Amino acid sequence: MSQERNNREISSALRAHFGRAPRVFIRTFGCQQNVSDSERMLGLLEGLDCEACCEAEGADIIIFNTCAVREHAEDRVFGNIGRLKALKSERPELLLCVGGCMVQQEHIAKKLLESYPYVDIVFNTNELGRLPSLLAERLEKNTPLDAHGCCDWSMREGLKPRREGGFRAFVPIMYGCDNFCSYCVVPLVRGRERSRNSEHIIAEFKAALGEGYRDIMLLGQNVNSYGKGLDEDINFAGLLRKLASLEGDFTLRFMTSHPKDATRELFEVMGAFPKIAPHIHLPVQSGSDRILRLMNRRYSSEGYLRLTEEARALVPGITFSSDIIVGFPGETREDFDATLRLIREVRFASLFTFIYSKREGTPAAKMPDDTAHKTKARRLAEILDIQEEIAAERENALVGSVQRALVVERLGEVLYEGRLWDNNSIALEGSGAVGEFAQAEILSRTKKRLFGRIV
């Protein structure tokens, strides 16, 4: 790997290559962590005088930030890369870079480098800071670069994100995951858990407030274990306390919380600071203890329910959202019924439901899986129906009340899109200011959506 070079040199090399200030298109797949990584890439590239551009066709540098969590996401990436072949033969000077979780799997990196020779750089997103020198190196060597294996974590801090606008700012507080849930590829591709120093987090949080963001979301695969391995004596509850004590009118959210690491102290802090949204995304994955054991989740359905009760007692009005995997290897109708019972008992504000996807290298990939896909799809549909029933009941119960909502987008002359505490969306009529909080009287629920009036 060549030495890191100075940005000015790289910027002029790129400009000379393209004959203009390079236009960059970044396509992000997957989770908020990837969105946040892409914002950092864009920040870096703008520092090299590149301009953001919103489609591949007009771009000089095309970056795919990929996701590996389910096979479907990977197929989409390959499909998209395949479609760029024609563009690349028309304009061979174009630079096509693929990073993100997918390329951290050996078989994928190999496939990309061997079967897609028009891909210029395969890089490790953990080393975002190296992107400029990789671009320069690619221009010099004129042959595809394989930088997927490197991992120097020091290349991550100090990068200023170019937030994509919108109403929410993401602030990563940790990277990687140490949990090794048996179905999940994340620990294999994102590596071991690493917390950022609280002073870096606080500085980034303040900068986001300074840019006018009112809804700030802390990100990590398992935010509840924040602080492990740091020199400072801090845990997640402590970090929340510091952030929620900052001046300003804002809402603080976080995701994802692993139930095994959610503490009483966390709920106490959530209950004590009004700036922390009384909402927690707490993936349960399954309601069957047998499946939870096979998943290596390290809690039982009863433990999960106890946790939600503790949270309800300490955080007034708290709402929950969750992730559920249906059709984990060997999931029987009985196991699935246990999941349905849990869903009915907790009454989540929203659910993200996935059909199990086999991931190479994970322990679950070796478990016998003889449930037909059709059965899994039917189970998924059953959950969606039940969840819609619950959501309708919950949201209808809000009609007539006044709730705090963040106005996030203008939809029409006197119509806005808003977000409630629990992040559910609401259509709002009246006069509002995008990016600011408003009091909303909830008027009705139609077409699976709340409708209200700014008061």
Binding site for ligand SF4 (CB under 6 A): 177, 179-181, 184, 186-187, 221-222, 258
Q: Which of ligand SF4, ligand 5AD, none has residue 284 at its interface (CB below 5 to 8 Å by kind)?
A: none
Q: Which residues contact 413 (CB under 8 A, 6 or more apart)?
A: none
CB of residue 56 vs ligand 5AD: minimum separation in angstroms?
Answer: 27
Please identify which residue in 48, 62, 184, 234 interacts with ligand 5AD, judged by CB under 6 A. Answer: 184
Pairing of strands 194-195, 437-446: unpaired
Contact 391, 349 (CB under 8 A): yes
Please identify which residue in 69, 95, 201, 450 interacts with ligand 5AD, judged by CB under 6 A. Answer: 69
Residue identified by tokens 């959202």 is 321
DSSP assignment letter at 247: S
Q: Which of ligand 5AD, ligand SF4, none has residue 180 at its interface (CB below 5 to 8 Å by kind)?
A: ligand SF4
Residue numbers 288-307 binding ligand 5AD by CB under 6 A: none
Q: Which residues contact 200 (CB under 8 A, 6 or more apart)?
A: 157
Contact 44, 159 (CB under 8 A): yes
CB of residue 213 vs ligand SF4: minimum separation in angstroms?
Answer: 25
Residue placing its CB nearer to ligand 5AD in the complex, 69 or 346: 69
Q: Which stretch binds ligand 5AD (CB under 6 A): 159-167, 264-272, 288-296, 353-361?
A: 353-361
DSSP string, 85-103: HHHHHH-TT-EEEEEEGGG
Q: Which of ligand SF4, ligand 5AD, none has residue 325 at its interface (CB below 5 to 8 Å by kind)?
A: ligand 5AD
CB of residue 357 vs ligand SF4: minimum separation in angstroms?
Answer: 12
Residue placing its CB nearer to ligand SF4 in the complex, 283 or 452: 283
Residue placing its CB nearer to ligand 5AD in the complex, 118 or 354: 354
Q: Which of ligand SF4, ligand 5AD, none has residue 162 at its interface (CB below 5 to 8 Å by kind)?
A: none
Question: Does residue 376 interact with ligand 5AD by CB under 6 A?
Answer: no
Please identify which residue in 167, 183, 226, 304 interacts with ligand 5AD, judged by CB under 6 A. Answer: 183
CB count within 10 Å of CB 295 equals 21
Q: Which residues contact 447 (CB under 8 A, 6 or more apart)?
A: none
Q: Return the bridge partners of 99, or none.
A: 65
**Total residues interacting with ligand 5AD, rule: CB under 6 A:** 12
Q: CA–CA separation, 406 vs 187, rounded Å?
A: 34
Q: Which of ligand SF4, ligand 5AD, none has residue 354 at its interface (CB below 5 to 8 Å by kind)?
A: ligand 5AD
Written as six digits, the tokens of 73 are: 């996401």
Residue placing its CB nearer to ligand SF4 in the complex, 22 or 283: 283
Residue placing its CB nearer to ligand 5AD in the complex, 331 or 422: 331
Angle between helices 131-141 and 32-46 (to 10 degrees): 60
CB of residue 33 vs ligand SF4: minimum separation in angstroms?
Answer: 10
Residue placing its CB nearer to ligand 5AD in the complex, 309 or 360: 360
DSSP assignment letter at 160: P
Q: Cα–Cα distances in Å, from 382 out to 37, 282, 283?
A: 35, 21, 18
Q: Which stretch binds ligand 5AD (CB under 6 A): 134-142, 233-241, 355-363, 396-404?
A: 355-363
Pairing of strands 279-281, 251-255: unpaired
Written as six digits, the tokens of 177 are: 């995951």
Q: Cα–Cα distances in Å, from 308 out to 226, 242, 258, 348, 352?
A: 20, 24, 13, 10, 18
Please identify which residue in 133, 319, 357, 371 interacts with ligand 5AD, judged by CB under 6 A. Answer: 357
Question: Does residue 283 interact with ligand 5AD by CB under 6 A?
Answer: yes
Q: Which of ligand 5AD, ligand SF4, none has residue 425 at its interface (CB below 5 to 8 Å by kind)?
A: none
Q: CA–CA separation, 316 vs 286, rounded Å?
A: 26
Question: Does residue 356 interact with ligand 5AD by CB under 6 A?
Answer: yes
DSSP string, 19-73: TSSPEEEEEE-SSHHHHHHHHHHHHHHHTTT-EE-SSGGG-SEEEEEE--SSHHH
Q: Which of ligand 5AD, ligand SF4, none has residue 356 at its interface (CB below 5 to 8 Å by kind)?
A: ligand 5AD
Element (H, E) at 238: helix 236-244
CB of residue 27 vs ligand 5AD: minimum separation in angstroms?
Answer: 20
* CA distance between the termini of the chain: 59
Please identify which residue in 78, 118, 273, 354 interacts with ligand 5AD, judged by CB under 6 A. Answer: 354
Q: Using CB under 6 A, list all residues that contact ligand 5AD.
A: 69-70, 183-184, 283, 285, 323, 325, 354, 356-357, 359
